[in-house]
Structure 1
Amino acid sequence: MNLALTGTDGDSAVADLAEDLAMLRVAAGKRVLLVSPNPGAYDARLYDDLVIDASYLSAAHVAANAKADAALARAGVILALLRPEALERDGCAALLSRLQMAQRANPAARVLVAVAHGRKPLTPHQAGCVLVFTAQLPHARLADTLVLDDAADTYHSRHSELELSAYKEDRKLCAPEVRHLYREIFRNRSEEVYMGALFPRQAI
């Protein structure tokens, strides 16, 4: 499967999250290639999964922008990582436009939206901005809120109270938020069929 992650320009948390998800996939026994925003040549057929950092290096890197958009157009799952401050500032209009274009080019892709913020909870206005952003992407789903430490881009384990004991003890490679998001992204096909039977109106 191709997983493409993107976010606002220059957000290092996108690369960190891509690395964490790739690491969890390797721990699950899969052959995984972690692809940078401006990669060299590679043969995708050699891997079970590609985890692609499809963020822009900067607005000036035209070639990287084109490669990132091409990665979104080929992805099976697109994960958009939002920052509440950026949403309040301009609604992440450039990111929204990229994702809408990717959906037109790749209508079969599953689009998940995650929010990265500090230990301080989202304000009602920020939560509203997230919902408005997600609503503008047909069939997109708000996947999770990832809590970043205020001092650095490291994930804080706020979800630990909800985690099963097995997930706390087995292969604890990163914070529970990331493991929860991993299970959202890489759920197996049999689970999708089961969930579709339980909730036929819900987009899986």
Structure 2
Amino acid sequence: MIVALTGMTDNPAASDLAQQLALLRASAGSKVLLLTQQHGPAQVDLRQPYDDVVIDTAGNCDSEAVLAAAGVIVVLIQPDELEMHDHGALLLRVRHAQEANPQAQVLVAVGHAAQALTPHEVGCVLVFVAQIASARLVDTLVLGAGGAYGTRHSALEMDDFKWENALCATEVRHLYRQVFQPAFQAH
């Protein structure tokens, strides 16, 4: 499966999230190809022996083609970006991808600082998600200093999903289960 991550800006948090999702998938036994901004334009050869391909499309000149080929599109937004930037270009990229590949699943994740979202920010996020057909708001990810993911929810995580020597924050593991849900049900 191809999983493409996108957002409004060249956000290092999206690259970090792509790396963590690929790491979790590889630790589950899948052969994973990870393509981030450092790799330049993504040329994915589906004949390669990879179970999954995780791509950070930020800064990728071929991002629309990658999004159109993805089985899952993860849109990472930050509430302050919704107010400071024109998010119309992001909506247009996701809509074009959906037109090219109507079967693609679109998941929207919100990255924010440790403080809770304000009611206004929650409203902005909900309006953004409502503008993408069939999109689901899957989780909020707590971004710490330098864009690293932290957690406030580890105490709430079900024991079945807690892993000894966990590789990443609870929210990222939850997003991972949402992205690879069909694969989870197969095992």
TM-score (norm 1): 0.83
| Residues 78 and 112 in structure 2, CA contact (< 8 A), matched pair in contact too | yes
Structure 2 counterpart of 1:144, which letter? Answer: D
| Residues 4 and 54 in structure 2, CA contact (< 8 A), matched pair in contact too | yes
Establish whether residue 21 from structure 1 lines up as the match of residue 21 from structure 2. Answer: yes
Matches within 5 A, 1:66-77: 67-77=62-72
- CA RMSD for the aligned pairs? 1.8
User: Paired residue for 1:112?
Assistant: 107
Mapped to 2, the partners of 1:41 and 1:132 lie a distance apart of 34
Return 38-47 or 166-175, whichever deviates more: 38-47
User: Paired residue for 1:48?
Assistant: 51
Mapped to 1, the partners of 2:93 and 2:44 lie a distance apart of 24
CA displacement, residues 3-30 of structure 1 (integer Å, 9 cap, x when unaligned): 0001122111000000000000000000
Mapped to 1, the partners of 2:65 and 2:43 lie a distance apart of 14
Matches within 5 A, 1:173-192: 173-188=167-182, 191=185
Structure 2 counterpart of 1:82, which letter? Answer: I
User: 1:162 aligned to 156, 177, 186, which one?
Assistant: 156
| Residues 75 and 109 in structure 1, CA contact (< 8 A), matched pair in contact too | yes
Mapped to 2, the partners of 1:136 and 1:180 lie a distance apart of 24
Return 176-185 or 151-160, whichever deviates more: 151-160
Structure 1 counterpart of 2:99, which letter? Answer: R
What is the Cα deviation at residue 87 of structure 1? 0.5
SS in 2 for 1:33: strand
| Residues 18 and 36 in structure 2, CA contact (< 8 A), matched pair in contact too | no
Q: Which runs of 5+ in 1 are unaligned?
A: 58-63, 193-204
Determine what percentage of the aligned residue pairs are the same residue.
Answer: 51
User: Paired residue for 1:202?
Assistant: none
Matches within 5 A, 1:189-204: 191=185
Instruction: Name the count of aligned residue pairs.
Output: 183
Mapped to 2, the partners of 1:42 and 1:8 lie a distance apart of 23
Mapped to 2, the partners of 1:22 and 1:170 lie a distance apart of 18
| Residues 81 and 116 in structure 1, CA contact (< 8 A), matched pair in contact too | yes
Structure 2 counterpart of 1:76, which letter? Answer: G
SS in 2 for 1:25: helix
| Residues 42 and 66 in structure 2, CA contact (< 8 A), matched pair in contact too | no
